A and B are shown apart, each in its own frame.
Chain A
Amino acid sequence: MTSAVHHHAAPRGFLRTHVFSVDHKVIGRQYLDLALVAVVTGMVLSWLMRLHLAWPETPIPGLGKLSPNGAAGGVITPEYYLSLMTMHGTIMVFFVLTTAPFAGFGNYFLPIQIGAEDMAFPRINMMSFWVTLVAFLVLISAFFVSDGPALSGWTAYAPLSAVGKDAGPGQGTGQTLWAVSIALFCVAQLLGSLNFIVTTLDLRAKGMSLARMPLSTWAWFITAVIGLIAFAVLMPACILLLLDRLAGTSFFIPAGLVISDRLQPHSGGSPLLWQHLFWFFGHPEVYIAILPGFGIISHVLPAFARKPLLGPRVFIVCLIAIAFLSYTVWGHHMFLSGMNPFSATLFSVPTLIITIPATIVTLLWIGTVYGAKLRLATPALFCLGFISVFVSGGISGFFLAQPSIDTYLHGTYFVVGHFHFVMGVAAMFGIFAGIYFWFPKMFGRMMSETLGKWHFWLTFIGVYGVFMPMHFIGLAGNVRRYAAFTDDYLKPLVPVHKFMTIAALLTGAAQLIFLFNLIRSRIRGARATDNPWQATTLEWSTASPPPFDNFGGRPPVVARGPQEYGASGAAGGDGGSDDYVMQAAPDR
């Protein structure tokens, strides 16, 4: 363990300070800004899809001009619907759910929480962000090429993704851009993960043992380890996919494949090879998205419950168990791929086992809240919302883990509802909890509590309105990935789709409250003290916002654990309170 030292000078000039900065805080904010742009883009795409699903014949004003081929006259074609779905999934999974909770908050707060003055390799850190941005721009540029974005889904299943433009609009340049974008994203995340791991291992402040690390830091660290392995596998997969598309190799394209009446000039490839490589990354990716949320909730909730998290070491052990098990379950995404039923059972068992540490973590949160005098500020509400949606989405995972049940449900909206709750919405609630909690530290101003609570309740009710009915229509056999529901047995379910579409629009509108709060608070929010939540970890020992070197040239010395709440009669490290002791408070 090495005391952190600052190894680059304070920046001068606008570009060095705000654009090409090597400061981890600026880079963290850049990641969060990128995620904000990405989430708005992804949400607009989801609205277009939902509008089309509910009213497939109704033109969407302006869309025809934006995409003359995919939505002539404003009516979305089935192929363009799939393109929207692909881009929605890719943007949300990679550029929102990975970028914001891990790269964004992790970059900003991991070094501060361990008492370091920056990441271990600041220049690599900066490069990581800029490569991510380029990856995002490459992906988005697919909207502006002649045949539009790829339509093979965020999973890019081969051979559809590998054969080129014969496979349909978007499968030419659009799919190539997708693969290049994801390969670049892998590079960025590998660099980022490397920085997170080395920083955590080597740059902790004096006294900051592993046992004293905040739980959010633990979560980012473990997520980085997962990411290091997962993205190291996805990148080779993308390279092979690009070679199949551009160089005429046959890794994923089988022999004798005829598409659009044309025999594809490939031989002997294995489409399942892509699925194995992709899901070896893809399932851990679920945990890359959600574990930072676990960390944020476990960091934030105790500050409002005024109690330490129940069983912090159990929590860490559970995270490690989840990280390990996440690499043993990828086959459960492939139950319908024709795999040997024995293999399916082998993947089903660890899938069920991984629910055990996840359930234990949930019980730790509930146990922490139980009997606490909870301060119901907005971050705490989003923590409770996180628990709610994570449980709602997690329970449906028990069913999907079993191959026999998954055979029926896999192609239906049941799966869509499941993963949106457990991975998408839960992770978003973690992000919101983090933003409301750390905003005062990042910008020195408080967010409006009133607007925050409105935002929470409307979002909370809204997401249940959008995603809970999906489970029921999935049980009723409503297939996913269809652009419209014209079959007789699906027509009675269309009113449910209309309900979900309205709920999605209203939930989206509720995010305007958040955006308004975010912008207004940045300019006119009440001034924040250094420790407005009376929290204990190191980020609350420094100024709001923190100075360039985080601690004003005085690296902290840590004398205790990260969650000393409920210490009756204790004097807070900032000298004011009586129920908490800060990590940086001098030892008595």
Chain B
Amino acid sequence: MTTVVARPPAPPPAVPTPTATERPQPKPARTGVLVGIAAISMSFAAFTSALVVRQGASPDWQHFRLPTILYFNTLLLVASSFTLETCRRRQPPGRPWLYLTLAFGLLFVLGQVLAWRNLAGQGLFLATSPSSAFFYIFTALHGLHLLGGVAGLLYALHRLNRAPGPAGAATLGAAALYWHFMAVLWLYLLALLALRI
């Protein structure tokens, strides 16, 4: 007589235990930036619709000439996108190009402040006219978001220094995506302001 002994069930397959020090996968950062871009776009769309409605609501809309420095600022921002892409395409990412991008970004913000001073010099303040109010709102909010981009690039630089390789490059990619969006957003805002103001 043969006794059949049931084999004990096999233990479940071992699943590698993640360590507490593992970093987030690169994909969420990029997805997060894309979702953030959606929200920011929606906010500026709301401001745009407010501008259109407000301009049509009353004859108190005051047209004025946009400060010329805005166009120089625009060139700086577009150039910063190119320097950032140049940085990303180097292997490893070219730090000097990243520093140049940051410098262009900060110069852009400084240029926007100069544009405000120019406007104030003409007697156009936040409450002077709805047109000047929207000018200050759009430029201020874009500038704040751009400073967020500067922070993002600094964080990417920090990651590149601490975690060279795909993880750092992915962080830089996500930050770059946001940065390019800032440039596109500014081009849109400039066109809107030029057309409406």
Contacts and interface: CB of A to CB of B under 8 A. Distances in A.
Interface string A527-558: 00000000000000000000000000111010
Interface string A1-27: 010011111100000000000000000
A33 interface: no
A114 to B, nearest CB: 13
Interface string B12-51: 1001011011111101100110011011101101110110
A270 B57 contact: yes
B126 A6 contact: no
B168 interface: no
A153 B162 CA distance: 52
B54 interface: yes
Residue with the greatest number of chain B CB neighbours at <10 A, chosen from A2, A6, A198: A198
B20 A9 contact: yes
B113 interface: no
A251 interface: yes
A458 to B, nearest CB: 42
Contacts of A269: 54, 57-58, 130
Contact of A553 (B18, B31, B50, B59): B18
A6 B22 contact: yes
Nearest to B15: A554
A4 to B, nearest CB: 8
Given A202-B27, A236-B43, A269-B54, A7 B22 contact: yes
A5 B126 contact: no
A250 B129 CA distance: 8
A232 B35 contact: no
B144 to A, nearest CB: 11
B12 A586 contact: yes
A431 to B, nearest CB: 26
Contacts of B130: 249-251, 268-269
B127 interface: yes
B110 interface: no
Interface stretch (A65-73, A97-105, A237-245, A489-497): A237-245
A167 interface: no
A201 interface: yes
Given A255-B60, A586-B12, A233 B42 contact: yes
A505 B43 CA distance: 42
A120 interface: yes
A7 B24 contact: yes
B116 to A, nearest CB: 14
Contacts of A276: 49, 53
Interface string A183-204: 0000000100110011101110
B25 A2 contact: yes
A80 B131 CA distance: 37
Contacts of A199: 28
B192 interface: no
Chain A interface main SS type: loop
Contacts of B58: 254-255, 267-270
B31 A236 contact: no
Interface string B87-106: 00000000000000000000
Contact of A120 (B24, B38, B60, B126): B24
B interface: dominant SS:
helix
A351 B79 CA distance: 48
B50 A232 contact: no
Nearest to B24: A7
Nearest to B57: A270
B133 interface: yes
A248 interface: yes
A120 B36 CA distance: 14
A121 B32 contact: yes
Contact of B24 (A5, A194, A231): A5
B120 interface: no
A232 B27 CA distance: 24
Contacts of B36: 194
A273 B54 contact: yes
B57 A229 contact: no
B151 interface: no
A232 B28 contact: no
B40 A198 contact: no
B28 A270 contact: no
B27 A251 contact: no
Contacts of B50: 236-237, 240, 251, 273, 277
Contacts of B107: none
Contacts of A197: 31, 35
Interface string B116-128: 0000000000110
Closest 8 pairs between A and B when the two form their complex, measured CB to CB: A268-B58, A248-B127, A232-B42, A268-B60, A270-B57, A120-B28, A9-B20, A5-B18
30 contacts: A8-B20, A9-B20, A121-B32, A193-B35, A193-B39, A194-B35, A197-B35, A201-B31, A202-B25, A203-B28, A228-B38, A232-B39, A232-B42, A232-B43, A233-B42, A236-B43, A236-B47, A243-B133, A243-B137, A248-B126, A249-B126, A249-B133, A251-B50, A251-B54, A255-B58, A267-B58, A268-B60, A269-B57, A277-B46, A277-B50
Interface of A: 2, 5-10, 117, 120-121, 190, 193-194, 197-199, 201-203, 228-229, 231-233, 235-237, 239-240, 243, 247-251, 254-255, 267-270, 273, 276-277, 280, 553-555, 557, 586
